[in-house]
Amino acid sequence: MRAVIAALPGDGVGPEVVAEALTALRAVASAFGHDFIVGEALIGGAAIDATGSPLPAETLGLCRSADAVLLGAVGGPKWDDPGARVRPEQGLLGIRKELGLFANLRPVRPHPALAAASPLRPERLADVDLVVVRELTGGIYFGAKSRGPAPDGRGEVATDVCTYSTQEIERVTRVAGALALRRRGRLTSIDKANVLETSRLWRQTVTRVVREEFPQLELEHLLVDAAAMHLLRRPADFDVIVTENMFGDILTDEASMLAGSIGVLPSASLGDVRPGAAHRFGLFEPIHGSAPDIAGRGLANPVGAILSVAMLLRHALGLEAEARALEAAVDDTLQSGLMTADAAAPGARASSTAEVGAAVAARVAAHSVLVIHSATATCGKGEYV
């Protein structure tokens, strides 16, 4: 297959983890005989410094013409001035909106080799295998914002408006429903319907779409505050979770602790299937931020970015065997004890970002043979999503 991938390294550890993700992509191309053409472009703080815009037109143009987008992370203290007119995060929100990426899939499948890195007891982590489907282009992050003097002259007043339409809720529910059908058939919808009007519309719409289009699914509704507790108390009960933008943002950082480190979790942001395409267009990125506290020191865990490449292969290019081979190479690497400091057990030797990336890439070829010859010889419990 020939495919064009837009790579947007971004800021902080973004370029470090994207470099390893591209090494993994090249290893897959060579093992399976594909031709992946990678074009790089600026986003976030690096783009502000070079062009004044967090999302330059050339970057958007490259992404629109690509088959998929691979992103690192954006942001950092250099661009954190609260009074700044342009901010790196505008690049991230802008690209999601411009490319119509409304569904963000965040799988959480703790690897046994990382159990010591999780604050939860190992028995709580056994059998945890969940995916959060987060709505990505609506809600409070995209609503009208204002800030100004308070009418009574005492201090200021700030407003962020949260809006959801029936159509926005329907389409993300369909992505989550279809995913749950391919998995264990359980869908949990998370909202705050006891307080928020948007959540009442959310709950009503999810209930109708599931009843009409996915009657086979077992549907559960949870309030977000209770869900935050259940995610730690009974994480193995969850299969697919669907929730709105801000709740998904917060709950997936919490869920990352099930996996031991935020550095190992990938994500896929999917839009509609483009005319003439066989798969949904998507942007793939680790869930972590630019981690300025460890940037430039070879400490960043590249696994989240590498597993994002596996999601890219699966969801954007339809290359299931390739995705599985890469996931198996990651599993194998972690199993061998090779991992960065964030994931290593206390006292264990930590590897650098590049060492982990090279170890995964070196294992891809061996797993490509296994995957081609046996549909079942893959990564332990099966694919990540």
Q: What's the min distance (Å) between Cβ of 137 and ligand NAD?
A: 15
The smaller minimum CB distance to ligand NAD, of residues 96 and 203, is found at 96
Residue holding tokens 């986003």?
A: 43
Residues 9-38 interacting with ligand NAD (rule: CB under 6 A): 13, 17
Q: Does 283 bind ligand NAD (CB under 6 A)?
A: no
Residues 6+ apart with CB under 8 A from 249: 134, 141
Question: Which amino acid is residue 173, in one-letter code?
Answer: T
Residue holding tokens 């650098």?
A: 352
- Residues 324, 347 contacting (CB under 8 angstroms): no
Residue from 49, 127, 225, 272 carrying the catalytic annotation: 225
Q: Is 249 a catalytic residue?
A: yes
Q: Is 253 a catalytic residue?
A: yes
Question: Which spans in 221-378 are helix H?
Answer: 224-233, 245-256, 303-311, 320-335, 353-373
Residues 82-101 interacting with ligand NAD (rule: CB under 6 A): 89, 92
Residues 6+ apart with CB under 8 A from 79: 11, 44, 45, 48, 87, 88
CA distance 141 to 203: 20
Residue from 11, 164, 192, 384 carrying the catalytic annotation: 192
Binding mask 300-319 for ligand NAD (x = CB under 6 A): xx--x---------------
Q: Is 192 a catalytic residue?
A: yes
Q: What's the min distance (Å) between Cβ of 239 and ligand NAD?
A: 25
Residue 340 to residues 17, 151, 301, 304, 334, Cα–Cα distance (Å): 12, 52, 6, 12, 10
Residues 237-266 interacting with ligand NAD (rule: CB under 6 A): 262-263
Residue from 11, 67, 129, 141 carrying the catalytic annotation: 141
Q: Is 152 a catalytic residue?
A: no
Q: Any idea which residues carry the catalytic annotation?
A: 141, 192, 225, 249, 253
Name the site residues for ligand NAD (rule: CB under 6 A).
13, 17, 73-76, 89, 92, 262-263, 285, 288-294, 300-301, 304, 340, 342
